[in-house]
Amino acid sequence: MAEKKKFQAIKGTRDLLPPETDLWNRVEQTAREVFGTFGFGEIRPPIFEPTELFARAVGGETDIVSKEMYSFEDHDFGELEKLRSVLLIRELELENPQSASLHKGQLTEFNAALEAGMKGRKIPVTPENERALDDLKMHAARIEILRRDYTGGEWQARERFNASVTGIRQALRVVEFGDVISLRPEATASVCRAYIEHGMHALPQPVKLWYTGPMFRRERPQKGRYRQFYQIGAEVLEMVPSFAAKDAATAGGAKSAPKDAAVDAEVIEMVMAFFARLGLEGVKLEINSIGDRECRPKYVELLRAELLKVKDKLGPDSQRRIETNPLRVLDSKLESEQAIIAGLPKIADHLCANCAAQYAEVKRQLGMRGVAYAENWRLVRGLDYYMRTTFEITAQGLGSQNAVCGGGRYDGLVELLGGQPTKGIGFAIGEDRLILSLQEAGKGGTALGRDVFVAWMGEKAQATAIAAAQKLRAAGFRVELPPVEQKFGKALGQADKLGARYALILGDDEIATGQWTVKTLADGSQAKMSEAEFLELLRKSL
């Protein structure tokens, strides 16, 4: 007998079940409708992509890429991988001829398979793999010679032999049998990759895309924070005409400020309209400008210098960030650091003329659209691709993980990923958190329920019941049709439990007269009517 094992969803993941999934569908449908009115079309990128894509776009030093991605090697060389493990753990002794010949055989086999795989392009022909193969072949040949020298009395050969064994191990570790891929931690990188891959710069610009689906980050799970979570996001991408500028991040200079700002404001207006349509409560929008390539580096240096002066008063995380990314210190929630941070120089006072003009225009544009906002100079975001406008939206009922949406401008990202100079702006909403907030505010209530429960009695009635259920379902009503005959009392009890609005009672009498008995479950009232009259009643009352 197989051992009884209880399987459970993996930590940080969960099942979404009815009736809650009704709410999820309603939220996604509302996004589809609202975003559609702004001219966005849906994109469905794959769930996994090359790790390199995220490393480049989001940034290799960010928490997301350096600590939180689910990555694996994707290849057909399981046996070869095992052989590598064997070679890596085998002790190779200079004096032991048996171990030596086994090692030689296996290493030769490994090298041959690796070479064949690369020739057939089944194993990636990267510079790293090519170098590793050369090293492996070189060391394999050298080891044989060194062994002969050693047995021939040349004692210094031992040292060179050991060096070659180390060289083999190092080369073995470097070999990659396939692409390293990751479950997506976010989708902006994928959307930009798709924009380039499908030549979307040739479409009328800007290209407006939205998406929904699961994202994966290996964070510490808590309320509103999961390892598989869902986002609803949107991106606006616009290629910069070649005459305008060398690159997207500086394209058009001051002249493009009003246009970019209007695009930013409209994107923000769209999220706010979506939240309003859902009735999300306690919505707060915060905005900031984090400058561009021109002014941000200077500000970061200034910040670093100021932080170094107060280094001793900062916690270990912030101390580390003085070196790696001083901007992230502004993100700190540590109580003891708040007073210090409040005294630091603010980026708004150090923006270059272009960025300052654009930031002012974003605020004016938001005003024109009736979008209320607060400025937060400490809003820096945890992904590397942003420049100028950044924003975050919080909602009520979420505790510490209260950001329901984050976004910003990322001119230059498409170029960084191998495309043409392109401007970009977008956001992603944490759908799990959005749903939680709606539920906390009592707006999650959509019980699954049924419109009609068909209570049929007698063999003859089943055929009529089936036909009635078919008609009602075709008209779009939710119908429960019990598979077997039930006693009247039991049927009504079940109809009640399922939250049905009406019980359609079909027995010998109803079949004979063509007059159906309809019971309204809310008040217990009962009436006789024809099929057509019942359909009419349903249409009017639901």
Neighbouring-strand partners of residue 387: 409
Shortest separation between residue 339's beta carbon and ligand HAM, angstroms: 26
Nearer to ligand HAM among residue 164 and residue 332 (C-beta): 332
Given the structure tokens 């707060």, which residue do they identify? 284
Helix (H), strand (E) at residue 500: strand 500-506
Instruction: Give which of 233, 227, 124, 231 is closest to 177, Cα–Cα.
Output: 124
Shortest separation between residue 503's beta carbon and ligand HAM, angstroms: 42
Shortest separation between residue 4's beta carbon and ligand HAM, angstroms: 33
Nearer to ligand HAM among residue 32 and residue 142 (C-beta): 32
Closest residue to bound ligand HAM by CB: 430
Nearer to ligand HAM among residue 189 and residue 307 (C-beta): 189
Start-to-end C-alpha separation, the chain: 53
Nearer to ligand HAM among residue 419 and residue 426 (C-beta): 426
Nearer to ligand HAM among residue 409 and residue 519 (C-beta): 409
Shortest separation between residue 393's beta carbon and ligand HAM, angstroms: 8
Nearer to ligand HAM among residue 92 and residue 232 (C-beta): 232
Shortest separation between residue 399's beta carbon and ligand HAM, angstroms: 12
- Residue type at 184 in one-letter notation: R
Task: Kindly list the distances between the CA atom of residue 430 and the CA atoms of 405, 411, 414, in Å, as whole numbers in the listed order.
Answer: 6, 23, 24
Task: Kindly list the distances between the CA atom of residue 290 and the CA atoms of 106, 317, 327, 371, in Å, as whole numbers in the listed order.
Answer: 56, 21, 9, 21
Q: Is the peptide bond before 19 cis (omega within 30 degrees of 0)?
A: yes
Give me the residues that bind ligand HAM (CB under 6 A), please: 186, 188, 217, 219, 224-226, 229, 231, 233, 235, 383, 403-408, 426-428, 430, 432-433
CB 286 within 8 A of CB 379: yes
Dihedral angle, C-alpha 122, 128, 131, 133, nearest 10 °: -40
Q: Please, what's the b/e burial string for 427-452 (b: 16 or more CB within 10 A of its CB; e: otherwise)?
A: bbbbbbbbbbbbebeeebeeeeebbb
Nearer to ligand HAM among residue 52 and residue 306 (C-beta): 52
Q: How many CB atoms lie within 10 A of CB 16?
A: 11
Based on the number of CB atoms within 10 Å of its own CB, is 474 exposed (0-12), middle (13-18) or buried (19 or more)?
Answer: exposed
Nearer to ligand HAM among residue 225 and residue 460 (C-beta): 225
Q: Is the peptide bond before 206 cis (omega within 30 degrees of 0)?
A: yes
Shortest separation between residue 20's beta carbon and ligand HAM, angstroms: 16
Helix (H), strand (E) at residue 499: none
Shortest separation between residue 492's beta carbon and ligand HAM, angstroms: 43
Shortest separation between residue 275's beta carbon and ligand HAM, angstroms: 12
